[in-house]
A and B are shown apart, each in its own frame.
Chain A
Amino acid sequence: MTNICVRCEQLVKRYENKAALDHLTVEIPMHRIVGILGPNGCGKSTFFRTMTGLVAPDSGHIEVLGRKPGWATNRDIAYLPDRARWYPNHTVEKAMKWADAFLPGFDMEAARRLADFMELDMDLKVNGMSRGQEARLMLLLCLSREVPLVILDEPFLGIDVLSREQIIEGLIDFLEDREQTILISTHEIHEVEGLFDYAVFIDRGRVILSGETEALRAEHGSLRDIFKTFYKRRLKR
């Protein structure tokens, strides 16, 4: 039981007449780097929002770290929301202090090291940052928390190549010696697929394939190929 991080059964969430989650069922193991993969609008973000208690499912069952999601469970979750921005009047330093004050498990030392590594000046103001710099700041705020679950919703979306590289490098560094489960959603699998050791493919609010990436590779080829195959099939329909 304890080796399951997220357990969903027949999860349904509808917006007007469109189902964002359509009887989604999945079990995600602990202590893995999990890729949540699928095209835009496939329900990845809604899935994450139900995990963080922002969205209540219409029906079905969800358990995160063995509990029902709500504001209290977020103590143990570092969450990078999709398309999130940071408070424009903060500097890097102030953003870290904010995180230190409000986010349980925040490690100031780790954050300073990451800022140094990601080349973010402590006095830099969010208002004057490029999107890439802001993305790096938000990522480091999430990664500097010692919590059992980290959820990153599209951390590479709309940022420059250089920042993207730095974020990937930062992730690799970070992954080395941690006992955490990390969920990363993306629709651009290229360059990052080597990071995942577990993958969940979502399409139209359902899980269409999931498993250990090494096993998936042995059976179906690269994650990118799997993605392309499913996406093509979807276009044909």
Chain B
Amino acid sequence: MQEQRVGSIRFQIDFSQPLYEQILEQIRSAIAKGEIGLGQKIPSVRELAHELRINPNTVMRAYQELERDGLTEKRRGQGTFVTSSKERVETFRQELAARYIDAFLSQMESLGYSWSDVAAYVKKKIDERSGERG
């Protein structure tokens, strides 16, 4: 599995996982991380399909989903752009953060840890870090 750069977005496509989700996730996280800025143009369906060697329909589906999320918008005759709304990206970032934390918590739960165990661990980490700084 190799990394490919298309425009300002880095992709890592793994053919042993569904492709649609990978494209969706990787563009989403590029936007959330700010790797691609507000109002910036993202690669066209055609371009991405060519670079990644995948079916344009798969790319198209991922793009439609991004648009539904409000993360991107199509401009007639110009292509697809990241939304210029800072709030929208911020909301999405928070949603993403919440999702990561939820996933983390449910994994911990499945290992048999209670939330207070997790909280204690997090507190310990915070103390360590402030200790390093102080």
Contacts and interface: CB of A to CB of B under 8 A. Distances in A.
Contact of B16 (A169, A191, A217): A217
Interface stretch (A86-94, A136-144, A145-153, A171-179): A171-179
Given A176-B45, A194-B13, A168 B19 contact: no
B16 A221 contact: yes
Contacts of B19: 194, 214, 217
Contacts of B45: 176
A37 interface: no
A208 B18 CA distance: 21
A82 interface: no
A36 to B, nearest CB: 16
A223 interface: yes
- Listed residue (A194, A215, A218, A224) with the most chain B CB atoms within 10 angstroms of its CB: A194
Nearest to B56: A176
B55 A195 contact: yes
A224 B15 CA distance: 9
Contact of A195 (B13, B14, B20, B53): B53
B50 interface: yes
B5 interface: no
A192 B52 CA distance: 10
B53 A172 contact: yes
Contacts of A173: 46, 50
Q: Chain A interface secondary structure, helix, strand, loop or mixed?
A: helix
B66 interface: no
B78 interface: no
Nearest to A192: B53
A188 interface: no
B84 interface: no
Contacts of A33: 55, 57
Contacts of A76: none
Contacts of B53: 168, 172, 191-192, 194-195
Given A197-B58, A221-B16, A222-B14, 5 more contacts: A33-B57, A176-B49, A194-B53, A215-B18, A223-B15
Interface of A: 33, 168-169, 172-173, 175-176, 191-197, 214-215, 217-218, 221-225
Question: Which 3 A-B pairs rank lowest in CB-CB distance, beginning with the nearest?
Answer: A194-B54, A221-B16, A222-B15
